[in-house]
Amino acid sequence: MSDKEGRGDKPDQASDLDLIAYRASAEPLPLRPAPSHRPWMDATDQRTAYRCLPMVIANQAGWELLCPVDFRAIWDGGVGKEAIELKFKDARSDYISSHFGYGILTFSPGYLFRTPSGHNLWCKGPTNDPKDGIAPLEGIIETDWSPYSFTMNWKFTRAGHEVSFGKGEPVCMLLPFPRAYLQRFDPAIHALSDDAALEESHKLWAQSRAEFNQDLLIPESEARRQKWQRTYMLGRDPLGAAFAPHETKLVLPAFREKS
């Protein structure tokens, strides 16, 4: 049996691209496939935020590095490394530091990543997971050749505001991305009328949406019973035709220990 056969938590289609995390330190940050849920989405009335399928799919599009300990941090507004004070709840972690100064909090993943030839690794903040007073900084790294490790950094947005990170909280999201992919696109703006079929389909959708929103105001209406239109969620156009490759969730394989 090959390495790629028999692995758990894999999607329906067979994996054909390797994403390797080489341990470069004794206890690197935990890794996991990004989940669909977010605490703030859970807290919306009837979990309505999860009706936005594009947002749910984006939540899952990558792997997350998790914070190893509970800690708090506060920035006094200075430019030096000492301007950030770290307050660890229990044990201190050498993977968390003020390395660059200028109100930048740094997480060291503890891995050296390898992607397939021609693929970069997009190192970003957890998708749709805002944090008050601090924002993730993103970078795209050529991990198919580079022997250099990288850090995940967060920039304080205001001084004197204490932020907290909990053990197991995602601090970084990893997304493999083909190099030179964006340059292959030919961006152009067209009049919608240039595509008569698309224009008609859009008009049908707009009319349907307007009527549905009006019907929501009527007690005992079918729209009130449905609560929201599900055509995009179901992958169907305004006439009911289904788009076969439509995705409603992503199931990414977990990182497995090499035996």
Sign of the CA dihedral with 161 first, then 165, 169, and 173 last? positive
pTM of the full structure: 0.89
Q: By the 8 A CB rule, do 113 and 255 touch?
A: no
Tokens of 63: 């792997």
SS3 191: coil
Which parts of the chain fold into alpha helices (H)?
Answer: 39-42, 53-60, 196-215, 222-226, 231-234
Q: Which of 15, 4, 5, 1 is nearest to 251 (CA)?
A: 15
pLDDT per residue of the chain (259 residues) written in tens, 0 to 9: 334 433 334 444 556 899 999 999 999 999 999 999 999 999 999 999 999 999 999 999 999 999 999 999 999 999 999 999 999 999 899 999 999 999 999 999 999 999 999 999 999 999 999 999 999 999 999 999 999 999 999 999 999 999 999 999 999 999 999 999 999 999 999 999 999 999 999 999 999 989 888 988 888 888 888 888 889 999 999 889 999 999 999 999 999 988 7
User: Beta strand pairing status for 111-114 and 20-23?
Assistant: antiparallel
Half-sphere exposure of 42 (CA within 13 A, CB side): 6
Amino acid present at 143: T
Extract the tokens encoding 191: 């009049």
Per DSSP, the residues of 141-186 read E-TTT------EEEEESSTT--EEE-TT-EEEEEEEEETT-GGG--
Cα–Cα dist 186/184, whole Å: 7
What residues pair up with 170 in beta bridges, in sequence order? Answer: 66
Name the residue ranges covered by the structural domains of the chain: 20-181, 193-234
* Alpha-carbon gap, residue 20 to 1, rounded angstroms: 19
Measured in whole angstroms, how far is the alpha carbon of residue 80 from the centre of its chain? Answer: 31
pLDDT for res 16: 85
Domain covering 20-181: architecture:
Distorted Sandwich (2.70)
Confidence at residue 8, expressed as pLDDT on a 0 to 100 scale: 39
What is the predicted pLDDT for the residue at 192?
96
Quickly tell me which residue has 């509970």 as its tokens. Answer: 70
Max CA separation in the chain (angstroms): 64
C-alpha to C-alpha distance for 248 and 11, rounded to whole angstroms: 13
Q: What pLDDT was estimated at residue 229?
A: 86
Q: Which pLDDT score is estimated for 4? A: 41
